[in-house]
A and B are shown apart, each in its own frame.
Chain A
Amino acid sequence: MVSAGLAVEALSFGYGHAIGEGVSFALAPGEVLCLLGPNGGGKTTLLKTVLGLIRALAGRVRVNDEDIAAWSPRRRALAFGYVPQSAPGQFSFTVAEMVLMGRSAHRGAFAAPSEHDRTVADAALAALGIAALAERDWLRVSGGERQLALIARALAQEPRILVLDEPTANLDFGNQVRVLAELKKLAGRGLAVVFATHHPEQAFACADRVALLHEGRLNLVGAPAEIITPETMRRVYGVEVDVVPVGDGRVKVCLPHSWR
């Protein structure tokens, strides 16, 4: 196997009992993997297990061929940036303070953020186009703005692998497009990106590969055009769709029959 950025091998995951088994995939630096699957199918649990937030029931996760089971949270945080599904939290930190927390792993437990930390955090805000939100109250920005700020926080972590759990769930159409373009750009800079989504089209927009998590298995991993077909969509989501090529045919959209 090629020296992958991230390799997941025969992973079983779940709280107590396995909700998914034998999940394997590998991701090289610069690649984007799109994780699809129905509600409650275990996408979030799988991502959290890869991150080490939930103990794997079996199997292993490797980063640059090294088993990360024994890694400290700090070492994991230097490898993985995580964008959780957005929750508002309890306290009115500013957006800038929240993004600055992404730098925690880069300094000792007692250390204050350095000038460099602030520069990196500001750059991350600017990269997502939300520099103007820096001094706004975290509890008062919109769900979409919070989502963008969480991505900025993960960027401020300067990780090698970026894991995003439904990063476009709260975003308006324009911001969805911008975030997907940003993911593609980050992969271009050498990051390995994994993101979960409910929109199959997003795979065509920026993913090199698609993984379909269905009934606890990751049977289908491959290029978007191979995986996203009327047959697989029917099997996984239980809906009849046409997968229609657009423009030069590289990008396709899923059109449900019931919409016709």
Chain B
Amino acid sequence: MLTALGIKSGAVPEAAATVIWQIRGPRILGAMLVGAALASAGGAYQGLFRNPLVSPDILGVSSGAALGAVLGIFLSLPVLGIEAMSFAGGLAAVALVYAVASAVTGRDTVLLLVLTGVVIGALLASGVALLKYLADPQNQLPAITFWLLGSLASFNREDLAVLAPTVLLALVPLALLRWRLDVMSLGDEEATALGVDVRLVRGAVVAGATLMTAAAVAVSGIVGWVGLLVPHLARLLVGPAFARLLPMTVVLGAAFLLAVDTAARMIGAVEIPLGVLTAIIGTPLFLFLLARGRRAAW
């Protein structure tokens, strides 16, 4: 990408090259990948759960990732260990929610999933609270707090090497099932009557969206609003059909989080936590969309 912009590594001083290749470059790509992942997962979930107010953590992926990361910090694991715990925690939380909801035989699977997600999310949050209470207030508690606020400050090439292929892989089921996702937004009964195997499609989409969200959260911490707000903006631009919505959420999500992360770095003398800034920008933007008329927004 940089060579395409006419920048050759030989033409810049050694220090600048290091900054570009080791620090800024990975962070830029990281911000774009995290934004694209959260936004496209949010767009897929909003269709799947027939609700434009759903965000990617509806099934507990963020709570699980948070508990994993906080446990990693509590056990004084190295950074890579904390990220691995977080990733595993996110996947495990959604797997648990999915297993519980599937074990209960009821009429409305979607409602069951969402309710189970809320309940298990609350349980995991209490686990996070307990670990914060038990953590060493000198070293561990600040680290936990910073993690929960979200940041890409320590994002490096190793993170990129894991995040990029994971997000791209997780995008595959969403891209393949883009036409089926439109039908899923009509509800299970109508989708079934139109010939869609709702359990298979839902399983594949949840797997993809969870994988990319867990990978994103593991490297960035909790970054809210992107997965809720960006799909709304994308839907305003290209409508709800997922074949157009998916590429638009990827592009907008990447651009949005890159802009916010750049602002987080540059606004103050100290870097502002990413999750705080997305909320500060996201809230008024969302209220503006609401004020523009409920239906126009989705």
Contact = CB atoms under 8 A, between A and B. Distances in A.
Place the interface of chain A in its size category: 35 or more
B127 interface: no
A87 B186 CA distance: 9
A243 B201 CA distance: 51
A74 B197 contact: yes
Contacts of A92: 235, 239-240, 295, 298
A94 B193 contact: no
A51 B243 CA distance: 29
A157 B192 CA distance: 13
A174 B81 CA distance: 69
B19 to A, nearest CB: 43
Contact of B192 (A15, A53, A109, A137): A53
A104 B185 contact: no
Contacts of A51: 193
B192 A101 contact: no
Contacts of B179: 104, 110-113
Interface stretch (B44-52, B62-70, B221-229): B44-52
Contacts of A104: 179-180, 183, 194-196
Interface residues of B, number: 32
A27 to B, nearest CB: 18
A53 to B, nearest CB: 5
B295 A73 contact: no
Contacts of A111: 179
Contacts of B200: 109
B157 to A, nearest CB: 34
B180 to A, nearest CB: 6
B194 A110 contact: no
A248 to B, nearest CB: 39
A109 B239 contact: no
A224 interface: no
B240 A93 contact: yes
A208 interface: no
Interface string A86-104: 0101111110010001101
A139 interface: yes
A91 B197 CA distance: 21
Interface of A: 15, 48, 51-53, 72-78, 80, 82, 84, 87, 89-94, 97, 101-102, 104-105, 109-113, 137, 139-140, 153, 157
15 contacts: A53-B189, A73-B192, A80-B193, A84-B193, A90-B50, A91-B185, A91-B240, A93-B182, A101-B182, A102-B194, A105-B194, A105-B195, A109-B180, A110-B179, A113-B179
Interface of B: 47, 50-52, 107, 176-177, 179-180, 182-183, 185-187, 189-190, 192-198, 200-201, 235, 239-241, 243, 295, 298
